[in-house]
Amino acid sequence: MKKFIVSILILSSVFLNGCVEKSVQGNKNINIKDYIVYNVGELPKDLSMLTDYNIRQQDFLVNLFEGLVKTDEKGNIIPGLSGSWTLSKDETCYTFNIREDAKWSDGSDITAEDFVTFFSQILNKDLNNKFAEQLYYIFGASEYRHGKKGFNDVAIRAIDKKKLEIRLNYPCNYFLNILAEPIYSLRKFNNNLFEWKKNYKEILYTGCFIIDDISNNSYISLVKNNNYWNEDEVKSNKIMLSCIDGSEAALAAYQSDKVDIFVDPPISEAKNLISLGKANQVSTYTTDALVFNLKKEGIIKDVNFRKAIAVSIDRIYISKEILSETAKPALTYIPTNISNGLNGQFVNKSYFTSALEKDKALDFIKKTKFDKNNEPLKLIYLDTIENKKVCEAISKNLRDNLQIKIECIGYNAEEFNDELSKGDYDIAKVEYEGSYDYPLSFLERWTINSKDNIYGYKNIDLDNTLEKSKMEKDKGKKIELLRSGENILFEDMPMIPLYCSNIVICKKSNIEDISITKKGNIKLDKVYINLQP
């Protein structure tokens, strides 16, 4: 039978009742649920999204706004509001052709000048933007950000109404990977964006949906943006976003048919849901790791001690037994599915093994001044069931095999960040990922001036190697320099990768065509309900 693409009703009465009367197969009326509910969890504070990173909250940017370019499910760069672009022979100047039919949600034309304004806003020194350094490849961007020059000296200009030119300091074969990130989706940085829950009707949108209604922060209705350039390909007229926080509560809502799609069920239920065909996994490049507090004096500063810990971790047990195979052992610093900027994937070598290596661990310990009678080391983590189990498993291995005593302490998010800031710990279990799809994004976190490097690690050789990789024109040599950077990290061991997490997506069987980006964002433009019985 033909698949029906239906309008997805958001009326609160329908949400509560869970179904409407609809004629299917002749004149027979049966109760059919004809709206989709996607649970996004905790809502973002604002729609700037420039101060922290939350992949689920960035789903708002992916579906409400669009940038010059974007990515498909495989991570390939595809046109966005720019239908095409050209690159100069010296590979330092991009010219983007804004689509003739690109419009704001109020029907007014999107112009090249709109993007000039956008970049001037997100680079402004008065706007809190932790990602600003990503755009320092653009000529004049760093000086403008630091208040040394005006924006007229930044090489971003409108050639005419529909042509935008961006000139770089030097060739950057992954510049489009940066621009494809959700944070570079075109929007106007004004009070409407920062007070979005109150002023959502006043926001000008550039993506496939707009916010139509917000009800007491419990649900948000999206309706199709009829002025979106690709409106005809958006399959649902309306979508409901529920705001249920916590995996247990989201699963309960899913099982009672109040939610049709949600991400990351409780680990204890994930394997069963996958086996029943009610969920599937998608690999991402989010990695969990142990980081060392190198600002603190003590045994933790001994690289051989850190290496002893690295080879004492049973990644197979963690991935299989604790995480129910929703993660895979991380054996490198840069995940295996990261772009090399040359239409391929970055490949270096495996630095770690999946299984515990006791003999190697003992050899490393012998090279240290470790005293088993010392006070326990403090391992802190964000307090979740999974993190607790992982840290306790690591602690047990270290105690049983190396006589290293570890005290594991879990904190809520605010407390955890405070502990990291105060430096009152020896080891911390953290989650990290690159902010764009290229190896440099993962390595730059460890440079001396990186805002992400709060752990006291310093190596001028790493900084110089990464800077050379930026300046290098030969693309093959750029990759070799990045490999050298990863090798430096391994030798210094400021961090130990543990595992790469998969996204587990639960959806009802009649929900079709969910799109998931390589980074893990949910795109709702193609999703619909299949009414075929």
Identify the CA nearest to 162 among candidates 87, 83, 241.
83
516, pLDDT greater than 70:
yes
Q: In whole angstroms, give the CA distance from residue 143 to residue 130.
A: 16
CATH entry, 66-184, from 3.30.70.260, 3.80.10.10, 3.90.76.10, 3.40.1160.10: 3.90.76.10
Q: What is the pLDDT of residue 20?
A: 35
Q: How far is CA 100 from CA 81, 109, 118, 180, 366, in A?
A: 9, 8, 19, 20, 68
Question: What does the domain layout of the chain look like in residue ranges?
Answer: 12-43+192-260+508-529, 66-184, 283-502
CATH architecture of the domain 12-43+192-260+508-529 equals 3-Layer(aba) Sandwich (3.40)
Q: Are 248 and 255 in contact (CB under 8 A)?
A: no
The DSSP element (H or E) to which 499 belongs, if any, is strand 495-507
Compute the mean pLDDT over every residue in the chain, rounded to the nearest whole number.
90
Range among 17-21, 145-149, 266-270, 348-352 rated most confident? 145-149
User: Left, alpha or beta for 312 (phi > 0: left; psi -120 to 50: alpha)?
Assistant: alpha
Q: What is the pLDDT of residue 19?
A: 36
Tokens 């990261």 sit at which residue?
338
Beta strand 209-215 with 219-224 is antiparallel
CA angle 364, 498, 294 (to 5 degrees): 60
Identify the CA nearest to 525 among candidates 281, 229, 257, 263.
229
Are the folds of 66-184 and 283-502 the same? no
What pTM value is reported for the model?
Answer: 0.87
Q: How far apart are the first and last CA of the chain?
A: 8
**Which CATH class name applies to 283-502?**
alpha beta
- Please tell me the least confidently modeled range out of 19-28, 78-87, 476-485, 492-501: 19-28
- Bridge partners of residue 407, in order along the sequence: 378
Tokens 């991402």 sit at which residue?
284
